[in-house]
Amino acid sequence: MKWALKRFCLERDYIMFLIGINTGLRVSDILALKVSDVKRKKRIIIKEGKTKKTRTINLTNIYDEIQSYAKTVDSKWLFPSRKGDKPISTTQAYRQLQKAADMAEIESVGTHTMRKTFGYWYYKQTKDVAQLQKILNHHHPEVTIDYIGITDEEIENELNEFVL
């Protein structure tokens, strides 16, 4: 998917996707970012639009790509629309992700896919549902478990290998 965005879409769309899959931010919070929010910063603090909670976002692993892109943006918005002084819409973000997904022959991609992808892979690498719950600002661990799609089969497979 990353290669399809890089090859067939604007750098803007690639960076949006990169931020999404590496931070777990909702697309509305990604699109609300301004260049000044990320310029020369490896950590940013945002107020989430949905929950109104403050969240610290670590951008260290994608810092260089964000900085390189931010230097090319001629707008206060990190993901500017061509239609005036505003960011692209969630609808436009969806269209660009869908275009890349079609090129990569991936089905069922939406704007929330980035957040779920982050959650899934964070869990796969850390196995820490409590920490992921905190990162995603979920109220209950059940929401996080449903969100990342842990199946009974996966639990069974893990238990088959578990020995003390």
CA angle 65, 69, 121 (to 5 degrees): 40
pLDDT score at 3: 65
Which DSSP category does 88 fall into?
P
Dist CA 22 CA 96 (whole Å) = 18
**Residues with active-site annotation:** 26, 50, 112, 115, 138, 147
Per-residue model confidence as pLDDT tens for the chain (164 residues)? 676 777 777 889 899 999 999 999 999 999 999 999 999 999 999 999 998 989 999 999 999 999 999 999 999 999 999 888 999 999 999 988 888 888 888 887 877 889 999 999 999 999 999 999 999 999 999 999 888 887 888 888 889 998 99
Set out the domains of the chain in order of their start, with CATH numbers.
Answer: 2-161 (1.10.443.10)
